[in-house]
Amino acid sequence: MRLLTHNMLSSNIKGVTKGFPLKIEVEKVVEKQVEINHDFLRNIFPKIDWKAFSDAARTMGYVELPEQAPDPSVLESDLDFLTKFHHALLELHLEEGALVCPETGRKFPVNKGIPNMLLHEDEV
Amino acid sequence: MAAALHLQTHPCFHGTYQLSPPPRPSVSFTSSSRSFPSNRRYLSAHVKAAASSSSTTTLQEGIAEFYDESSGIWEDIWGEHMHHGYYDPGSDVSGSDHRAAQIRMIEESLRFAGISKDPANSPKKIVDVGCGIGGSSRYLARKYGAKCQGITLSPVQAERANALANAQGLADQVCFEVADALNQPFPDDQFDLVWSMESGEHMPDKPKFVKELVRVAAPGGTIIVVTWCHRDLGPSEESLQPWEQKLLNRICDAYYLPEWCSTSDYVKLFQSLSLQDIKAGDWTENVAPFWPAVIGSALTWKGFTSLLRSGLKTIKGALVMPLMIEGFQKGVIKFAIIACRKPAE
């Protein structure tokens, strides 16, 4: 599971008002190289919840991202930033671990990189 | 396990109708689309009532196990798309390229829904609800350069979908999760295109299914549902004929399907949620050659031996295939497309 995906998932357990972002419990992180695409990064940047993203990256062991969302102008020409953004967004994979509902603490397992977001009977 | 999964089909008969032959429904869908005015008629009772939650869990486990067991053999013979092919009505399909027909099904669906090919207006974020091994997700992501999420109940399918995405160089564009279409793990208003290709028939609670499709659609986004339905009921009918219900029950049992609904039930659901530009089409004639072709593939040496190695659920599914043909031929089963748009803010 990449952090791009994590930035789109939320806990919709019955009664939960703020199910985003999910906390991350790490058991195994794998790095998989992917070719960088600057246009893709520029297009996706406005859609990312930056705080959730940089916190998640930190949990995964990557501390190079700024905590606050940078000014969009850095996407124009700051190659160093683009590389770090790309790396955290697309190249870090949570292979084994869990996503945790921020309100209830309920854990959604992640196995072989695939999150299992199925709710139990009493959670719907 | 199979016995435990015989579903209560929750019949809601208010007496049998002594009509023979089966009545032609008065609102028939032709293969050209028909736009629906926004009126708020209510659904017939059997669609409103949802299955109890424990039977839903049993159903979901059955679905997951069925696809865990069957996806490999399907992919081996038919490839990555787990849906019907689209053919010209009445065409001779012997020697047909069925995989091309499956691609055509995707393209015809996009065309029906009026999805723009113009890069400025084409979908950027897509969700594939009931994604199988991700055939549609990868196709759509590639076609539009979009990001696509796929959800499935089957962990085996999700894993295979990811592996195929990696192999096809789409790992940064598509990803798959094990999740429930009735409780999609996404915040509201996310997706420009909400895609459900032949998964709706598995949903035990159609109103909730449709509500979730609408919830996760972005304002101005498009929803496309391609699914098996039963024929629309006539104005004096409250339910299908007993023989029709019996036929469907046998199919439900083998394919882990809950109660069927009609195309117009879907239309009414979307109308009740104030969706716009609702269109529905009857593509039954366009998919008619598909099941005989699947049966043909099962009867080849490769197909037959693969089935024997697969498992009881897959075999049971295979044995019920002639019932699908019977259902189509007798006008009970319809292959439907429903498309609509969520109002822009």
pLDDT by residue (tens digit) across B221-268?
999 999 999 999 999 999 999 999 999 998 888 888 888 999 999 999
Contact A121 B53 (CB under 8 A): yes
Q: Is A96 exposed, middle or buried (0-12, 13-18, 19+ CB in 10 A)?
A: middle
Token representation of residue A68: 């606050």
Instruction: Please tell me the predicted confidence (pLDDT) of residue B53.
Output: 63
* CB neighbour list of residue B297: distance below 8 Å, 6 or more residues apart: B77, B78, B303
**pLDDT of B330 higher than 60:** yes
CA distance B305 to B312: 13
The DSSP symbol for A45 reads G
Binary contact (A116, B177; C-beta < 8 A): yes
Query: Which residues on A lie below 8 Å from B218 (Cβ)?
Result: none
The per-residue pLDDT for range B10-48, each reduced to its tens digit, is 332 223 222 233 333 333 233 333 344 333 333 444 443
Lookup: tokens for A76: 């124009």
pLDDT at position B45, please?
40
Chain A residues within 8 A of B155 when measuring between CB atoms: 111, 114, 116
What is the sign, positive or negative, of the torsion defined by CA atoms of B168, B173, B179, B184? negative
In the structure, what pLDDT confidence band is assigned to residue B191 with cuts at 50, 70 and 90? very high
Structure tokens that stand for A30 in this block: 């794998």
Instruction: For residue B337, tell me if it sits in a domain.
Output: yes
The answer to whether residue B150 is domain-embedded is yes
What's the total number of domains in chain B?
Answer: 1
> Does some domain include residue A84?
yes
> Does residue B318 lie within any of the structural domains?
yes
With beta carbons under 8 A apart, name residues in chain A contacting B124. Answer: 43
Q: How many residues does chain A have?
A: 124
Are B190 and A119 inside 8 Å of each other by CB? Answer: no
B48 within domain boundaries: no
Q: What is the pLDDT of residue B93?
A: 67
Q: What is the pLDDT of residues A4-61, one digit of tens each?
A: 999 999 999 999 999 999 999 999 999 998 889 888 888 889 889 999 999 999 999 9
- From B56, B124, B177, residue closest to A115, measured CB to CB: B177
Say which CATH number the domain at A105 has. Answer: 2.20.25.10
- The per-residue pLDDT for B96 is 65
Report which of A95, A109, A98, A5 is spatially closest to residue A53, judged by C-alpha positions.
Answer: A5
Asked if A124 lies within 8 A of B162 by C-beta distance, the reply is no
Domain range enclosing B212: 56-342
- Is residue B272 situated within a structural domain? yes
Pick the closest to residue B152 from B187, B121, B127, B170 (CA basis): B127
Q: Do B53 and A115 touch (CB under 8 A)?
A: no
pLDDT at B5 (0 to 100): 26
**Residue B280, SS3 per DSSP:** strand
Could you tell me the pLDDT band of residue B2, with boundaries at 50, 70 and 90?
Answer: very low
| A31 and A92 Cβ atoms separated by less than 8 Å | yes
Query: Does any domain span residue B326?
Result: yes
Do residue B180 and residue A118 have CB atoms under 8 angstroms apart?
Answer: yes
Q: Are the Cβ atoms of A114 and B153 closer than 8 angstroms?
A: no
Q: Which of A17-50 are b and which e, b meaning 16 or more Cβ less than 10 Å from the residue's Cβ?
A: eebbbbbbbeeebeeeeeebbeebbeebbeebbb
pLDDT tens across B60-103, in order?
888 888 788 777 777 777 778 889 999 998 776 665 688 889 99
Answer whether residue A124 is part of any domain.
no
Beta carbons of B257 and B250 less than 8 angstroms apart: no
Å between A85 CA and nearest CA of chain B: 14
Residue type, A24: I
Distance, in angstroms, between A68 CA and closest chain B CA? 22
Tens of pLDDT, residue by residue over A51-93, are: 999 999 999 999 999 999 999 999 998 999 999 999 999 999 9
How large is the ipTM? 0.87
* Closest CA relative to residue B195, chosen from B125, B252, B249: B125
**Beta carbons of B216 and B335 less than 8 angstroms apart:** no
Q: Is residue A122 part of a domain?
A: no
What is the nearest CA distance from B169 to chain A, expressed in angstroms? Answer: 9
The model's pLDDT over B256-311, given as tens digits with 9 standing for 90+, comes to 888 899 999 999 999 999 999 999 999 999 998 888 777 777 777 777 777 777 77
The count of C-alpha atoms lying within 13 angstroms of the C-alpha of B289, restricted to the half-sphere facing its C-beta, is 18
Q: Which residue has the tokens 């955290």?
A: A88
pLDDT at B118 over 70: yes
Question: Do A87 and A33 contact (CB within 8 A), yes or no?
Answer: no
Instruction: Provide the pLDDT for residue B105.
Output: 97
Residue B76: CA count within 13 A, CB half-sphere: 15
Domain housing A109: 3-117
Chain A residues in contact with B149 by the CB 8 A cut-off are: 5, 8
Q: How far is A121 from chain B (nearest CA, A)?
A: 6
pTM confidence score: 0.83
pLDDT of residue B95: 59
| CATH code of the domain covering residue B102 | 3.40.50.150
Name the H helices within chain B.
Answer: 45-48, 53-78, 98-112, 135-144, 155-167, 206-216, 242-255, 263-272, 284-287, 290-298, 301-310, 312-319, 321-329
In a domain, B47, yes or no: no
* Residue B107 scores a pLDDT above 70: yes
B290: in domain: yes
* Identity of the residue in B153, B159, B175 whose CB atom sits nearest the CB atom of A5: B175
Overall number of domains in chain A: 1
Specify if A85 maps to a domain: yes
Give the chain A residue nearest B169 (alpha carbons).
A34
Q: How many CB atoms lie within 10 A of CB B297?
A: 16
Say if residue A99's pLDDT is above 90. Answer: yes
Of A9, A114, A119, the CB nearest to B155: A114
